[in-house]
Structure 1
Amino acid sequence: MEKFSTWRDKGTGISPFMPVDAPPSSIASKYLAQPVLYVFKFPILIITLALYYALIPFPAVANFIVTKLYGFRRIETTVDGLKRSKVAEIQAAKPKVNDIVVVNYVAPINGLILASIAQCSWRSIVILIPAANGEYYSYSIWDVFTRAMDEISTPNPSAQPITDLTALKGKLVFIFPEGTPSNNRSILPFVTSKTNKLKVNNVFTFKTLSLKISPLHFTTPLPLTSKFAYVYSLLTNLHNKSVISVKIFEHGQSNELDFNLSKRSFETNQLNSVGDYLDIQMKEKFYAEYIKVKR
């Protein structure tokens, strides 16, 4: 939309905050197939989530939710430098306890997707997301859903500030350095004003994970829909090309977080960084303008 050209990256032409509309459904799908699918799947989702939360906190359950209930045909996991046939090596490279993994932030289901490929229980996962001021806060995979649907730069009330990563030894740590979701067409500027205060040592192995969701309307660059409506869209997902692609880049043990290395990894997977001016504060202005125009 020409009205929002101010928020378009000057180099690539990408507008990373622009929501992607879902393709129109047929009348039969909208009023028959989707409601029936929702009525069938919703009770199963509730039971599965309860079991996952209380009794069976393992990746296979998260994978069942994403691929069977949410309608994504598969989660394709590859590792940079490895052929797809190297199944054992790819499995070994998947995120595990004492890994620090930088991930791009695109959707409320980011946490559940990551839990589905992790080599540990969701209870061992910590997700760090910075606020606009650069302070990093700790979230669970459940909190990430709410965080992506709420106001852009406000931490969840239950989130805890984190400065010392060494205190997270024995955990799998995912970092979303963009601080806010995009529409998965690029990487937003990393929130770096206070990242130097994140203490780390070589207890951890450093990795980058490039996440792509197709189709793009499942991303949430702006909090425009309710949590119920978003879950409804997932449970009634009938798109044949619904795929989640995960590419892992291994960087080895390190005494510091090299965010530039992560940026280069994203670019290798065709997610280029947009200009530094397209940061969280600019996204807030875009959101305000978008809502005003739509109204």
Structure 2
Amino acid sequence: MEKFSRWRDQGTGIQPFLPPVPANADHSPIQKVFTAVLMIVKPVTGVVKLILVGILSLAFVLLEAAGLIFTPVAPLHRLYHRLISTIFIRAILILLGFFWIKNETVTLRRGRSSGAGSRAQASGRRATPSGEVIVCNWSSYIDILYLAFRFDPIFTQMYPTTLTVRQITLWEALRQAGSYPELSPPEGVETFPLLDFVKDMHKKGSGPVIIFPEGTTTNNRAILKFVPIFKDWSVPETSIEISIMALKYDYQKFAPTFTVGLDNSYRFGHLFRTCAQFYNTLSVKTLAQDESPSNSHFSAIEGLSSTPSGAAIGVVEPVEEDSLGSVMVNLMGRMTRFRKLGLNVKDKADFLDYFILRNNGISSAAKKSVVQKGASTASQGSSRPKRH
């Protein structure tokens, strides 16, 4: 849409914030009849599956609450929570149409033999240790469900203004998808530098830590410029295990990506349409661990080469303020063949401000909330806040 053209990346022409719109295509008479039948069947399917998702979610919440009795015994509580997460969240993903999720461990080194590729696949099946950082792109609340099912991890909220994080629950992480990004922490909320937080989670044995360094959801067509959350880390960072993961959705008519979720009507509508789909596709790629920037033999130049970005492919780009973040965004781009954009989370906040003003469907309460957040960000943006 031309009215949102100011948020189109200059180097690539990609607009990463608007919900994807399928291209118009001519259909045969048989296809048109089939489409008409689907228009009748899909709403019924969506209602039934949405009810079942609600029942499973309620059961999960109740069992989660019951599991609090195991809190004094941390390993037992974690085992119990992992068990119910695996069962119930996987069932919800099936109802949302994700019957099979393709997982692949990839290597970016040229000339790797098939035997090396097999070892990479084997490394992808290893147990994920507590305190490992999983760096991932972010396009939907489906990402949250998948990561919760597979890892039962620690979800974090990142604040670009202070470059700190805090732990959040699964439900808070789901709500953040598509929401207006909080650039600064609310008053009184304690946050921590990422490296300190990760090491603390490792000591507690709390599980892997999920980081979405883009800071907000996109439409899964490109990768935003990372928030410099890793600026104080080294390359390679051998004190922490780092896993780089990329999630990609394939679709024809309806995209499971969720870029705008400013009120409950948007969330409910998207969830309903996802349930109405008979089948959705998600593929997950994980970089081989011996090519991770936490490997002691990792080379920053190797990580920055052959980068699909707004610049020409094959050009080594200069290391930015956050050298580790620059390396990881490039590795992620090479894994997915997504372009790296110059836009960032602050551009997404500006986009949502404009989207709200243009869209009469957003509630006045949501508008007021965004205005308050924008004013808070402006007041804190002139000087870096103190560490919370």
Shorter-chain TM-score bucket reads 0.7 to 0.9
> Displacement of 1:178 after TM fit?
0.9
Tell me the residue number matched to 1:130. 158
Counterparts of 1:52 and 1:270 in 2: how far apart (Å)?
39
Aligned to 1:57: 81
The one of 131, 138, 148 aligned to 1:98: 131
Structure 2: runs of 5+ lacking an equivalent: 24-34, 68-79, 108-115, 297-321, 361-388
Query: 2:272: which partner in 1?
Result: 232
1:252/1:233 CA distance change after superposition, 3 Å = same
Structure 1: distance between partners of 2:232 and 2:190: 15
Query: Retained in 2: the 8 A contact 1:100–1:173?
Result: yes
Partner of 2:44: 32
- 2:219 corresponds to: 183
CA distance in 2, matches of 1:38, 1:84: 40
Which residue, out of 85, 101, 111, partners 2:144?
111
SS in 2 for 1:261: helix
Deviates more, 1:42-51 or 1:144-153: 42-51
Percent identity over the alignment is: 22
Task: Give the match for residue 192 of structure 2.
Answer: 162
Q: Is the 8 A contact 1:267 1:273 kept in 2?
A: yes
Q: 1:34 to 1:217 in 2, by over 3 A?
A: same
Q: Is the 8 A contact 1:45 1:69 kept in 2?
A: no
Matching residue's letter, 1:43: I
**Superimposed CA distance per residue, residues 233-256 of structure 1 (whole angstroms, 9 cap, x where no aligned partner):** 44x24243x111111112164699
Corresponding residue for residue 367 of structure 2: none
The 1:54–1:266 alpha-carbon spacing in structure 2 relative to 1, beyond 3 Å, is farther
Structure 2 Cα separation of the partners of residues 267 and 140 of structure 1: 28
Residue type of the partner of 1:68?
A: I
1:79 aligns with 2:105: yes
* Number of positions where the alignment pairs a residue of Structure 1 with one of Structure 2: 284
SS at match of 1:96: coil
For 2:145 and 2:136, locate their aligned partners in 1 and report how far apart those are by CA, in whole Å: 13
More strand by share: 1
Secondary structure at 2:125's aligned position in 1? Answer: helix
* RMSD between superposed Cα atoms in Å: 3.4
In structure 1, runs of 5+ residues without a counterpart are none
Equivalent-residue separation in structure 2 for 1:111 and 1:159 (angstroms) = 23
Q: Secondary structure at the match of 1:91?
A: coil
Cα separation, partners in 2 of 1:71 and 1:160, compared to 1, 3 Å: farther
- Which of residues 247, 263, 266 in structure 1 aligns to 2:332? 266
Q: TM-score normalised to the size of structure 2?
A: 0.63
Q: Per-residue displacement from partner, 1:159-218 (whole Å, max 9, x unpaired)? A: 6412113222133112111111111111111111x5435699744211211111344632
Task: Pick closer, same or farther for the CA change 1:252–1:109 going to 2, 3 Å.
Answer: same
Check whether the contact 1:98–1:173 (CA below 8 A) recurs between aligned residues: yes
More helix by share: 2
Write the distance in 2 (CA, Å) between the matches of 1:60 and 1:85. 26
| Greater mean alpha carbon deviation, residues 202-211 or residues 56-65 | 56-65
